[in-house]
Amino acid sequence: MKITSIGRTPFYGAQNQPIESEKKSKKQEYIDPLANWPLRGLGYTNDIGIAISEIAPTASRLFWVPALMYFGADIYDKYKNKGNEYDPSGKRAFSQAVFQAMASIALPTASGHIGQTAFSYINKIHGEKLSTNAKEQTLRFICNHAESNDIFNPLYSQEELIENFEENFNNFYAHKKRHFKRKNIVVKTYDTLLANCKRGAIANSDRDRIIAFASGEFKNILNTCSDSVQMKSKLEKDIFKLKAWKSLGAFTALVLTVGPIDKFVEHIIIKKFLEPSMDKINFSKIKKITDFGNEKSA
């Protein structure tokens, strides 16, 4: 805000121009560099890792590295500074640690896996009416069966190969059904929501549909592939398409939930539950990070 003198106005030589005195009435608002782009983008790299975990598991783990570095830097910054002022606070650091753990790690991870599961189940409404996970596990069974039974050996007739496959797949399906049935409700719920139905995909599929799909895919392999190399290439492409569909589900879920998750953690978990509880803790008795190792021997 400018303040202009109402008394005698000084003049500067022959220019005869008045000079206005200026004062700033308030401090410049603090802008946290870690909460703004481009640094803020590092906090989302683990979300990318979650989304691509199906199609690129190794790369997905690497995407967690910059995110974890960002989380650590953000927590330490909030511990050390209050805005642009140096004011170490264990309470502030603990609050930020809980926020990052919930809003950046736990809830987005759950959201991504739920998105994968949801998109996997979408496949049940069309085509073979089987989940993406059930199809993927069936294709993997076909690949393993083909390798262990030497299906491209000319000594075996196609009828023998199909009969042997269907018998083995029936046993595979029955085993999955019995094994999953013994699981308790907690395991089944976890498998459905967070484990991408790895255990229950085959067991929860309609028997006639999954057997028809498996038999059809196996016959297709016999008719279109001449050796195991060609077979593996075809099955890997089909499996990648299924995984890419699930990754799209994870991306969709994360895009839709990242904002609501931040608000939920900040306004509900932190403001309504954590901060009232922290008021009962005397953080002044907790050592500052810089105090460790600096104690003087008695």
pLDDT digits (tens, 9 = 90+) for 86-144: 888 888 899 999 999 999 999 999 999 999 989 998 888 888 899 999 999 999 999 99
Amino acid 276: pLDDT: 85
Name, in order, each residue with C-beta under 8 angstroms of 107's C-beta and a sequence gap of 6 or more: 257, 261, 264, 265
Name, in order, each residue with C-beta under 8 angstroms of 263's C-beta and a sequence gap of 6 or more: none
Check the CA dihedral 190-196-199-203 and report its sign: positive
Cβ-contact 147, 235 below 8 angstroms: no
Amino acid 275: pLDDT: 84
pLDDT digits (tens, 9 = 90+) for 71-92: 999 999 889 888 778 888 888 8
**Residue 171: pLDDT above 90?**
yes
Q: How confident is the model at residue 59 (pLDDT cuts 50, 70, 90)?
A: very high
Which is nearest to 82 in space by CA: 93, 71, 73, 72? 93
Distance of CA 270 to the CA centre of its chain: 22
Name, in order, each residue with C-beta under 8 angstroms of 75's C-beta and a sequence gap of 6 or more: 93, 96, 97, 100
Q: How confident is the model at residue 225 (pLDDT cuts 50, 70, 90)?
A: very high
Cβ-contact 183, 192 below 8 angstroms: no
Report d(CA 57, CA 240) in Å as an integer: 12
Cβ-contact 180, 205 below 8 angstroms: no
Q: How confident is the model at residue 291 (pLDDT cuts 50, 70, 90)?
A: low
pLDDT digits (tens, 9 = 90+) for 235-266: 999 999 999 999 999 999 999 998 999 999 99
Mean pLDDT value across the chain: 83
**Residue 185: pLDDT above 60?**
yes
Cβ-contact 199, 175 below 8 angstroms: no
152 by DSSP, 3-state: which? coil
Q: For the chain, give every domain's residue range.
A: 33-281
Q: How confident is the model at residue 21 (pLDDT cuts 50, 70, 90)?
A: very low
Maximum Cα interatomic distance, the chain, rounded to a whole number of Å: 113
Highest mean pLDDT among 13-27, 70-84, 220-234: 220-234
Amino acid 52: pLDDT: 92
Which is nearest to 102 in space by CA: 253, 274, 255, 249? 274
Structure tokens at 65: 């590295």
User: What does the buried/exposed string (b/e) look like for 27-48 if buried means 16 or more CB atoms within 10 Å of the residue's CB?
Assistant: eeeeeeeeeeeeeeebbbbbbb
**Residue 274: pLDDT above 70?**
yes
Q: How confident is the model at residue 36 (pLDDT cuts 50, 70, 90)?
A: confident
Q: What is the pTM of this model?
A: 0.77
Alpha-helix residue ranges (DSSP H) falling in the chain: 45-51, 57-62, 64-80, 90-100, 107-122, 132-149, 158-181, 185-193, 207-224, 228-264, 275-278
Give the pLDDT mean for 13-34: 54
Percent helix, strand, coil in the chain, to 5, is 70, 0, 30
